[in-house]
Structure formats: structure tokens, C-alpha cells
Structure 1
């Protein structure tokens, strides 16, 4: 997963405004008690950060693997 894919699935899952808030404010225990933004800045792999967000927000498996779906097919899909 690339950084751009991380931000794309965050926006697709939560919406632009709320997604940014989740990334900036939600503390993720599995990445050392950092937010997603802090973890990415510290060099944690985007895939690991996305998994931490999915775990913390209790997102389903389809959402967890959303970045593997063709972007054209992802549009309109929401988190369950």
C-alpha cells in the first residue's frame, strides 16, 4: 500500500473531512500510541497504519482490503 492509497481509502471510507479527523485525532495503540498522521510521518508503513485504523474503528474485512479493489470499482462503496 502506498501513502496515496492510504489517503484514498481513508477518504472513501470516512469521507474527506471526517477521514482527516480520524487520521489526525484517533490514537492507535498498535502503532505505538500515535495517530495515523504521526505514524506515517515516523515511517510506519501505510498498510500497517491502515490495519491499525481498521482494528481501532472495528471495520469489516471488505473495508480493510478496499485498497486492493480497482479504484473505479471502489467509488461509492461505504464502510459497513
Structure 2
């Protein structure tokens, strides 16, 4: 998955403002205690990050 696709999924699920806030501020234990932005900068795969976000926020299966 490309980062642009990941960002679009985030915006579609949470809205532009909340998606940006979550990516910047929310720390995920499943991402090694990193935020989304930190995980992306560290080279973690966007698909893995999307799964972590979906699990943490209980995104329904059909939108994963």
C-alpha cells in the first residue's frame, strides 16, 4: 500500500482534521509506542499501520 492510499483511507474513515490529529498525536502500542507519523518515518509498512489503526478504533471489516 502506498502512503497516499493510506492517508486517503485515514481521511475517509476519520475526516481530514481528525485523521491528521490521530496520525500526529495518538500513540499506538501495537506500533512500538509510536504515532502513525513516527511509524511511517521509521519505514514501517503503511498496510501494517492501517491494520493497527483499524484494530485500535474498531473499524468495521468492510472498511479495512
Query: Structure 1: 5+ residue runs without aligned partners?
Result: 65-80
Which residues of 2 match residues 6-45 of structure 1 at below 5 A? 6-45=6-45
User: Quick one: distance in 2 between partners of 1:11 and 1:57?
Assistant: 14
- Greater CA radius of gyration, 1 or 2? 1
Query: Paired residues, what number?
Result: 64
Q: Which has the higher contact order (CA 8 A, sep 6+)?
A: 1
User: Quick one: distance in 2 between partners of 1:28 and 1:55?
Assistant: 10
Aligned match of 2:2: 2
- The CA RMSD measured in Å over matched residues stands at 0.7
Normalised by the length of structure 2, the TM-score is 0.94
Query: Structure 2: 5+ residue runs without aligned partners?
Result: none
Q: Could you give the per-residue CA deviations for residues 17-42 of structure 1, whole angstroms, max 9, x where no partner exists?
A: 01101111111111101000000000
Query: Counterpart of 2:44 in 1: which secondary structure?
Result: coil
Which runs of at least 4 in structure 1 moved beyond 2 Å after TM superposition? Answer: none
